[in-house]
Structure 1
C-alpha cells in the first residue's frame, strides 16, 4: 500500500448502517485513500439475485477475500448488520485477513430524509425497520460512527483516524462459523 493510512494491504473494511446514513459516499471516498483498493457495493449482489438471498453475504465475503489475498484493501459498502459479521469472520479469519467494521449512524429522521432524497430504497417503513436494527449494536457499539452533524469529509476523516488507531478492527473470533440463511 502506498498510502499512510491504515489498515494494511489486504485488509477488509466494512462500512455499514441503515439506508440514508451515507455508507456509499463514505465507502467510495475512503477506498480512494488506499492503493491498491477495491470498492464493493454489496447492493449489486442483491440486485443480481432473482430469487432467494441466503448466500449473498457469503458471496460478498468470498469476493472481498479474493481481492484481499491479491493485496488489495477492500472497502465493502452495504447493509452488513452484526448478524452478518460471522459470515465475514468465517471467510476471512482462516485466510489471515484482518476485518474492520464501521457502523455509520444518524437519527431516524435524518436517515429517512436522506434516503428519500436519493435513488434506491425510499420506503419509509423499511427504512425505519432497518434503522431500528442498527440502533442497538450490542457487542458492536464501539464500532459506531455518528454522522448526524458531520459532512462526508469529516466522516471519512473520522473513519480514517479510527482505522489508523485500530479501533475499528474486529478481534478474531476463532471458529465463528457463518450466518444462518434467514438473514
Structure 2
C-alpha cells in the first residue's frame, strides 16, 4: 500500500483499533495513529470529546490537526497511515479542511456493527462506557441512513475477527468506494 491514508471510524465498540492494528500487520511501512491517545496528551484541562463546550471543541480540533501532522510526516517518508478516530458530523469537515495537503489519497471507512455487537465489545474493556456507545451508535446510524458519512460504511456485525474486517476495509480502498480525498495536485 503506497502512501495511502485510511481513516477508520465508527462508534465506540466498533473495533476500530483492532482493525487498524490488523491493517498495519499486513504492510512493511504503515503507522497507526490513534487519535484517542493524542487527545490524552492534554494533561491539565482535559475535556472528554463529547463535552459540549469551547475547550472540548478546541481539543477535538487540536487532536485532528496533530493526527494529520503526524500523517503528513509519515507520508513524506513514504509510509502509509491508518488513523483511528470517531469521526462524524462537523468532525468530517475538519478532516476535509486539514487533510487536503497530505500528498496521498485519503480513504474513510466507517465500521458500523449492530448496537448489540458494539455493547458486547465495550463490555470487554477495562473502561466500559455503555451510555456513550449507545449515543454514538445512534449518531452514526442516523448519518449512515442519511447518506452523510463519507467513504464506505461496513456493517461488521457478522465479522468473526479483526482480520476479516481488515480484508473488507482493504477491498473498499481497492475498489474506490472509500475514497474521501484523491490527493491529486498535492
TM range (shorter): 0.7 to 0.9
Residue 168 of structure 1 deviates from its aligned partner by 0.7
Give the conservation status (yes or no) of the 8 Å contact 1:89–1:172. Answer: no
Q: Residue 155 of structure 1 is aligned with which of 142, 165, 178?
A: 165
| SS class of match (2:179) | coil
Query: What does residue 6 of structure 2 align with?
Result: 13
CA distance, structure 2, for counterparts of residue 173 and residue 112 of structure 1: 36
Q: Residue 132 of structure 2 is aligned with which of 126, 131, 145?
A: 126
1:145 and 2:154 correspond: yes
TM-score by length of 1: 0.81
State the Cα deviation string for residues 61-95 of structure 1 (Å, max 9, x = none).
Answer: 22112211221100111212243222223233234
Query: What does residue 114 of structure 1 align with?
Result: 121
1:58 and 2:41 correspond: no
| SS class of match (1:148) | coil
CA RMSD of aligned residues (A): 2.1
Structure 1 unaligned runs (5+)?
Answer: 1-5, 175-183
CA distance, structure 2, for counterparts of residue 163 and residue 118 of structure 1: 29
State the Cα deviation string for residues 2-26 of structure 1 (Å, max 9, x = none).
Answer: xxxx4xx222101111111111111
State the Cα deviation string for residues 35-69 of structure 1 (Å, max 9, x = none).
Answer: 21111111111211132414111111221122112
Residue 172 of structure 1 deviates from its aligned partner by 5.3
Instruction: Give the number of aligned pairs.
Output: 166
> Residues 144 and 78 of structure 1: is their aligned pair in 2 closer, same or farther, counting only changes over 3 Å?
same
| SS class of match (1:10) | coil
> Residues 173 and 84 of structure 1: is their aligned pair in 2 closer, same or farther, counting only changes over 3 Å?
farther
Q: Residue 97 of structure 2 is aligned with which of 68, 90, 113?
A: 90
1:29 and 2:22 correspond: yes
Give the conservation status (yes or no) of the 8 Å contact 1:89–1:99. Answer: no
Residue 97 of structure 1 deviates from its aligned partner by 2.4
